[in-house]
Amino acid sequence: MLFQWVFVSLSFLAYVAALVTPLSDWAKLIKLGPNAPYHKAPAPRGVKQNLPSDCKVKQVVYLSRHGSRYPGFEGTYVSAMAQTVTTAQPVIASARLPRELRFLKTYTSTLGSEDLVDKGRQEMVHHGKEFRKRYPHFSFEHFVTSGSSRVIESATYFGKGYFGHNWNDPSMISPIPSNPATLSHLTPFQVCPNHSFSVSDSIKGAWQNIFMPAITARINAAVPGLNFADIDTLGGFYACAFDYAAHGESPWCGAFTKQEIDQFEYYADLDVSASWGLMHPQNMARVMGSVYTKKLIQRLSTNEENVAYVELGHDATIAVAMTAMGLATDDPLLPTTHIVPERKMRSSNQVPFGGQMVFEKFTCSRSFEGPQVRLILNEATYPLTPCIQSPRDAKYGTCSLSNFIQSNQFSMSIEFGDAQWAASCGVPA
Ligand SMILES: *[C@@H]1O[C@H](CO)[C@@H](O)[C@H](O)[C@H]1NC(C)=O
């Protein structure tokens, strides 16, 4: 009795503690959109994660985004923020700061640019090991990668995980050049001259103007004389992600509340939707994603068995492919005025560093008739909603291969450079 009482009280205390404990850094990091470290996606409710036991995977088409890297354009904001902090150092030095901002007394930023960081190498070694464990009977001839060096390096570390640490065989890595003269299913945006980031700049800028000023004001009130502008605050969010990628921790993660992180997550989702999703006008993302989709269907339509395709690319590769397939697309489009909690676009879970999009073709002796397809996105079944027809399809999140092809008629109807391509992307070089 006493024991029970103690147990109940302790559970209650743990419950209260969970409510008042601030969100851990890790819980914040995995909400930072495409700059989130690799993590498993949450499994969607009501969808079986394992196939029936009479089913067998015949083909695997695997695509990984490169691992964690140094910042690209985000680095500009981090440096500007660090400069603002340095300029204010004389006032900060003598100020009484709240605990979560005390780090500003010594904060400096040392980050490289664009290249893979050690954590990114570890993510890829892990992916290689896990791939081997999951598909021991599958073989592949080479790694196909985009042309960028962090992607090629990612393939090298995937190979070390897969074959062993001494493995080093550059001849197994086949990069497709990333340039405007080369059509690649991994970088179709290179041949879409009218793609423009000004769209996402204005969309995410509109939301930034709504949520960021309050955060900036909070920081400025806590640190008189700091004089942050909203872009410094933005630099703080990016510093959380990229300090962590490069150094394994960032004091900036602790500087934001759960609500502020949720607002930044929405900012990241708008960014991906407007850069590589339906919010980019002229159906451009679907047109770009048609290249990967057609390649996938072409591969799944062969009779090969135990053959895997192992490819490495970018967040944009995954995002445009999913958009073309009608996955993770919000209808109506996401507003820039408030957060939509039930949205489908969740870039943190869909395209984090090292994000993995895996299509499996499988057949079953009893459960399903004919070849079937499923998508495993960051280790969770991602239901292929546009082609799901039967209750059994819905239970496993899968589709028959023929229904999958049927649901991708838009992609199948486009030829690179044809009128439809030109109407969205403009005329390629
Ligand atoms: C592509 O961009 C060019 C140059 O800005 C413009 O003239 C053309 O109309 C655009 N094409 C489409 C399909 O938007």
pLDDT tens digits, one per residue of 45-56:
999 999 999 999
pLDDT digits (tens, 9 = 90+) for 57-114: 999 999 999 999 999 999 999 999 999 999 999 999 999 999 999 999 999 999 999 9
Q: Are 275 and 173 in a shared domain?
A: yes
Q: Determine the atom of ligand 1 nearest the C-alpha atom of 424.
A: 13
H helices present in 21-148, as ranges: 25-29, 74-87, 89-94, 118-134
Report if residue 315 sits inside a domain.
Answer: yes
Q: Is the CB of 194 under 6 A from ligand 1?
A: yes
Q: Is the CB of 426 under 6 A from ligand 1?
A: yes
pLDDT of residue 23: 79
pLDDT of residue 6: 47
The residues with which 143 forms a beta bridge, in sequence order, are 173, 310
CATH label of the domain that carries residue 137: 3.40.50.1240
pLDDT of residue 1: 44
- Determine which residue's CA is closest to atom 11 belonging to ligand 1: 426
Report if residue 18 sits inside a domain.
Answer: no
User: pLDDT over 90 for what percent of the chain?
Assistant: 94
Cα of 221 vs its chain's centroid, Å: 34
Q: Determine the atom of ligand 1 nearest the C-alpha atom of 422.
A: 13
Instruction: Considering only residues 7 and 356, tell me which one the structure prediction assigns the higher pLDDT.
Output: 356
Q: Are 344 and 417 in a shared domain?
A: yes
Report if residue 15 sits inside a domain.
Answer: no
Q: Are 343 and 414 in a shared domain?
A: yes
Report if residue 35 sits inside a domain.
Answer: yes
The helix/strand/coil state of 68 is coil
Of 77, 30, 101, 47, nearest in space to 398 by CA? 47
Rounded to the nearest integer, the mean pLDDT of the chain is 95
Q: How far is the CA of 417 from the centre of ligand 1 (A)?
A: 14
Q: Are 219 and 343 in a shared domain?
A: no
Residue type, 55: C
Report if residue 274 sits inside a domain.
Answer: yes
Asked which of 19-33, 158-172, 362-376 is least confident by mean pLDDT, the reply is 19-33
**Secondary structure (H, E, C), 232-279:** HHHHHHHHHHHHHHHHCCCCCHHHCCHHHHHHHHHHHHHHHHHHHCCC
| Mean pLDDT value of segment 141-148 | 97
CA 414, 420, 424, 429 torsion-angle sign: positive
pLDDT of residue 343: 98
H helices present in 277-387, as ranges: 284-300, 315-324, 347-350
Q: Are 282 and 298 in a shared domain?
A: yes
| Mean pLDDT value of segment 156-163 | 98
- Beta-strand runs (E) in 24-181: 55-65, 143-145, 173-175
Residue/partner pairs of 380-383 with CB below 8 Å, 24 or more apart: 380/40, 380/41, 380/42, 380/43, 380/44, 380/49, 381/43, 381/44, 381/47, 381/48, 381/49, 382/41, 382/44, 382/327, 383/44, 383/47
Report if residue 262 sits inside a domain.
Answer: no
pLDDT of residue 420: 96
| Mean pLDDT value of segment 240-251 | 97
Q: How far is the CA of 368 from the centre of ligand 1 (A)?
A: 47
Q: Considering 213, 234, 257, which residue would you say is the last residue of a domain?
A: 257
pLDDT of residue 18: 46
Q: Are 139 and 103 in a shared domain?
A: no
Q: Give the chain's domain count.
A: 2
Q: Are 291 and 307 in a shared domain?
A: yes
Residue type, 333: L
Q: Which domain holds residue 250?
A: 74-114+199-257
The helix/strand/coil state of 185 is coil
**201 has catalytic annotation:** no
Q: Are 301 and 375 in a shared domain?
A: yes
Per-residue pLDDT at 284 exceeds 70: yes
CB 80 within 8 A of CB 232: yes
pLDDT digits (tens, 9 = 90+) for 163-211: 999 999 999 999 999 999 999 999 999 999 999 999 999 999 999 999 9
Token pair belonging to 348: 């943190």
Q: Determine the atom of ligand 1 nearest the C-alpha atom of 423.
A: 13
Given 66, 127, 195, 314, which residue is catalytic? 66
CA 381, 384, 390, 391 torsion-angle sign: positive
pLDDT digits (tens, 9 = 90+) for 334-372: 999 999 999 999 999 999 999 999 999 999 999 999 999
Q: How far is the CA of 413 from the centre of ligand 1 (A)?
A: 22
**54 has catalytic annotation:** no
Token pair belonging to 267: 């900012």
Q: Determine the atom of ligand 1 nearest the C-alpha atom of 425.
A: 13
Report if residue 37 sits inside a domain.
Answer: yes
CB 409 within 8 A of CB 402: no
Q: Are 171 and 302 in a shared domain?
A: yes
Q: Are 218 and 350 in a shared domain?
A: no
Q: Are 125 and 274 in a shared domain?
A: yes
Q: Are 285 and 351 in a shared domain?
A: yes
Q: Is the CB of 428 under 6 A from ligand 1?
A: no
Report if residue 16 sits inside a domain.
Answer: no
Given 232, 243, 269, 315, which residue is catalytic? 315
Q: How far is the CA of 291 from the centre of ligand 1 (A)?
A: 21
The helix/strand/coil state of 145 is strand
Q: Considering 236, 257, 278, which residue would you say is the last residue of a domain?
A: 257
CB 225 within 8 A of CB 91: yes
- Beta-strand runs (E) in 314-428: 356-364, 372-377, 380-381, 399-400
